[in-house]
Amino acid sequence: MDPGPTPLRCFSECHPAEMFVDDGVETLTSVEQKKVEHSIEEVINVYKQIHSLPQPILLREQHYQYLKKGLRHLSDAYEVNVYVLVCQFLAHCQSPTGGFAGGPGQHAHLAPTYAAVNALCIIGTEEAYNVIDREKLLDFLWSVKQPDGSFVMHVGGEVDVRSAYCAASVASLTNILTPKLFEDTTNWILSCQNWEGGLSGVPGLEAHGGYTFCGTAALVILGKEHMLDLKALLRWVVSRQMRFEGGFQGRCNKLVDGCYSFWQAGLLPLLHRALFKEGESELSRQRWMFEQQALQEYILLCCQNPTGGLLDKPGKSRDFYHTCYCLSGLSIAQHFGNMDLHHELILGKDDNRLAPTHPVYNICPERVAQALQHFHRLPAPEDPRWKGDSADNTPSDPAPDATASGSDDQQS
Ligand SMILES: [Zn+2]
Distance CA 125, CA 83 (A): 9
Question: What's the gap in Å between 13 CA and the centre of ligand 1?
Answer: 29
Catalytic (active site) residue 259: yes
In the set 134, 312, 367, 383, the catalytic residue is: 312
Active site residue 229: no
Does residue 254 carry a catalytic annotation?
A: yes
109, 322, 353, 358: which one is catalytic?
322
**CATH architecture of the domain with residue range 9-377:** Alpha/alpha barrel (1.50)
Question: Is 322 a catalytic site residue?
Answer: yes
For the chain (412 residues), the mean pLDDT of every run of 10, in chain order, is: 78 94 95 97 93 88 93 60 90 97 96 98 97 97 98 97 98 96 98 98 97 98 98 98 98 98 98 96 95 98 98 97 98 90 94 97 97 94 62 45 39 36
385 an active-site residue?
Answer: no
From 208, 335, 358, 374, active-site residue: 208
Distance 99 CA to ligand 1 centre (A): 26
Q: Say how many Å lie between the CA of residue 305 and the centre of ligand 1.
A: 15
Q: How far is the CA of 65 from the centre of ligand 1 (A)?
A: 21
Give the pLDDT confidence score for residue 411 in this predicted structure: 36
Q: Compute, in angstroms, the gap from residue 222 CA to the centroid of ligand 1.
A: 27
Which candidate in 257, 302, 303, 358 is catalytic? 257
Domains of the chain, residue spans? 9-377
| Residues around ligand 1, an ion, CB closer than 5 A | 257, 259, 312
**Residue 63 catalytic?**
no
How many angstroms separate the alpha carbon of residue 257 from the centre of ligand 1?
Answer: 5
55 Cα: distance to centroid of ligand 1 (angstroms):
25
CA 261–ligand 1 middle distance (angstroms): 9
Annotated catalytic, 15?
no
Catalytic residue among 254, 313, 353, 358: 254
Asked if 251 is an active-site residue, the reply is yes
